[in-house]
Amino acid sequence: MRTILVFAMLSLAAPAAAQAETPFPLLPMPTSLRPQAGTFDTRHAAVMVKGDGAGSAAARLRDLVARTGGPRLPMSAKGTIRFVRDAAITGKEAYRLIVTPRAVTISASSDAGLYYGAETLWQMIATSKQGRIPAVTINDKPAFGWRGLMLDSARHFQPVSYVETLIDRMAMAKLNTLHWHLTDDQGWRIQIKRYPRLTAIGGCRQDAGAAGFDATGKPVQSCGYYTQQQIRAVVAYARAHHVTIVPEIDMPGHATAMVAAYPKLASVPNPPTAPSNQWGVLPNLLNPDPATFTFVENVLDEVMALFPGRYIHIGGDEAVKNQWNANPAIQAQIRQLGLKDANALQGWFTAKLGTYLERHGRRLIGWDEILEGKVPADATVMSWHGIDGAVTAAKAGHDAILAPSPIFYLDHIQSDSGNEPPGRGAVIDWRQFYGFDPAPAALTSGERRHILGIQANLWTEHVRTTAYADRMLWPRAAILAELAWSNPKKDWAGFSRRLVAAMQRWNSMGAGYDRTPLEPEAAFSGSDEAITVALRQPADIGTIRYTTDGTSPSPQSPAYAKPLTLTPGTALVAQAFAGKTGLGLPEHWLMAPELLRTRTASAMTLCSQSIPLRLEDDGPTDGVRKVHWVDIMHPCWKWSGAPLDGVTKISAEVGRLPFNFAIGKDIDKIKYDKPATPAGELVVRRDSCDGPVIVSVPLAPATATSGDTTVSATIPHQSGVHDLCMTFTQNGPDPFWVLDRLTLVR
């Protein structure tokens, strides 16, 4: 691990404050940073370039400074901000940045180094006071050569403009590899001219539930793919920003879109005729016969012509072998090849692809399942089963990339707030993400040289929009950049101050990120006359400040220290602050007794954690959709400490979702109580999920409407404080009922 020089002005013991108020709010933190005396005034500075490659770095600096409201920075042969080629600076991404009161000099031996020096200088200017930046000497280079993000465009398609915006933001964070997941069971997104059905058939699907129909009930297709012309433009854009794109063509599994387009590739006689709208692991595998290899090699030829980088990702994950095991011809092929089983056949399949790529000057990357068989010696392993695959690969002499689930899977939600976007329900918060150690202890120093770097993956089953994508990616992608570039000794307090400064830069550019963990949450207890409010902020950054007169808090407002007791009618507003900087948006609550007797499902506890998800409703087709909190294996919610005194009625908001999850035989584990009416019932029990039934609410009224519906029923007299357990009765899992909110009515 490298040493990062930290000085008194970056004291780790300093109180939480906006990092913009400190001299060096940089993210990622440079390798070596030595403050000097004085400041440099950028307000009247000009830029001078010297040597090849300096012009693009200078243009990047000027563009970013302008986008964040900084000075104009004209070009001039006498400019005091200088970009200089220096062969003595070793490392293809290394640079030196020297700021004195008279001049700024960025030096590097490579175009990438000059570019990254410009990124660092921009960060200093963007958060400077009155255009003055502190004098400093920075010598910097990355800890890892592979600093990556994966974007899944197969499950949900993103426009070219978004992909380029992502590349732009990656470059700001000094991330240099975009792994582009272009094919899967749910869609084929890359034009292959030799095989047009791959996009004509594989690029379209009918989404599950109401989203798959228009207002008249007619089926609608969700389509999208990238033309070769568009891909060339994206690759060129990425190259200009020193980002390499690694395409993934997933095989032999995750191949439903492929075999739907060309059934001759399938391992079964009657494969699907369209891409799937199911999320999960589907059984469809490519048939590993000569005709398939000819097809795949032709596809790879076009892929390699589009993507000039060294690596081609072939997937290899989650290839369920049922179809191969049931196919007599494939079983005969296994015997003919002298292989042990279907896992060994996948190894043989992967090795053939690796050999083909090697003949064309490329290297194969696959998920860590490729280790189940014999793989080419130069194959690189991307480890997603924790870090075990990377450890196994490195010990066997393979290069490896750490992309462990769940911590680096960006489809996991970032807090337990009910305002989080859709995603997997196991929370991976920012502090936990920051705490990841990219240097596996199980490896020797020699073996660690095989760890090329780290990568975080955005799977998009639940990420329907680009706004959602931004929230799931950022700020965790910036945290990844810190780990990949700086590999720091962990200091959450110091890092969080620099993260706040990065968020200020994003705010000034209108760039999206997830603000929800920064925003206070409230829990209510007490009595109708005196309501107790406990506040918390999931991110644990800064200080919560509040007002009780309905006005927005300021940095001078009272700091929250303990639960507040307030009377009905009080307008409580709370917001977190880091020094003088407001974090997220203010949260508003009007004190009323109803707050004590209403609970959202997101604020309840799930009865189980088998597959917890924040699931978006399947409608409307356009516009905002509700997001529901549910374990799809056991839809059941607990409200701890519900006040039942005087309650005569229960009112519930419920919704119904399609069960579009490919979970194999596990679907047989989903059990529901038999309904008393055709539509089923919401069942509310007291004290435990085996306790007495308070009420069974018929759901027939909710079947006549789309979206959430309010159903209600009177209940027998209740008293005291009790736990409540809510479940549904129905005949099967598809579609399934979900609870959004429960209100106890007096």
pLDDT along the chain (746 residues), means of 10: 34 33 84 97 94 89 96 95 96 98 97 98 94 97 98 99 99 99 99 99 96 91 98 99 99 98 98 98 98 99 98 97 98 97 95 95 95 85 94 93 98 97 97 94 92 98 98 99 93 96 97 98 97 97 98 98 98 98 97 98 97 94 90 98 96 97 96 95 97 97 89 94 98 96 97
Q: Residue 151 burial (CB < 10 Å; 0-12/13-18/19+)?
A: buried
CA dist., res. 53 & res. 109, Å (int)? 10
Among 275, 263, 564, 514, smallest CA distance to 413 is for 514
Return the closest-CA partner of residue 118 out of 158, 78, 171: 171
In 3-state terms, what secondary structure has residue 621?
A: coil
Residues annotated as catalytic (active site), given as ranges: 318
Per-residue model confidence (pLDDT) at position 706:
80
**What pLDDT, on a 0 to 100 scale, did the predictor assign at position 374?**
79
DSSP conformational letter for 590: E
Find the farthest-apart pair of alpha carbons in the chain and give their distance in angstroms, rounded.
Answer: 86
Predicted confidence at residue 707, as pLDDT, reads: 85
Q: Are 683 and 664 in contact (CB under 8 A)?
A: no
Query: What is residue 497's predicted lDDT score, i.e. its pLDDT?
Result: 95
Long-range contacts of 297-300 (CB under 8 A, 24+ apart): 297/356, 298/192, 298/194, 298/195, 299/192, 299/194, 299/195, 299/198, 299/249, 300/249, 300/353, 300/356, 300/357, 300/360
Q: What pLDDT, on the 0 to 100 scale, is given for residue 180? A: 99
Neighbours of 591 (CB within 10 A): 20
Domains contained in the chain, CATH given: 8-140 (3.30.379.10), 146-487 (3.20.20.80), 519-591 (2.60.40), 597-745 (2.60.120.260)
Give dist(CA 98, CA 105) in Å, integer.
5
Q: What confidence score (pLDDT) does residue 411 get?
A: 98
Distances in Å between the Cα of 460 and the Cα atoms of 156, 157, 186, 243, 480 are: 6, 9, 11, 21, 19
CA atoms within 13 A on the CB side of 724: 28
Side-chain half-sphere of 525: how many Cα atoms within 13 Å? 9
How high is the pLDDT of residue 23? 64
- The total of other beta-carbon atoms located within 10 Å of residue 264's CB is 11
Return the pLDDT at 265. Answer: 99
The pLDDT of residue 15: 31
Dig out the tokens for 444 from the structure: 């020797």
Distance of alpha carbon 717 from alpha carbon 499, whole angstroms: 53
pLDDT of residue 22: 57
d(CA 635, CA 447): 46
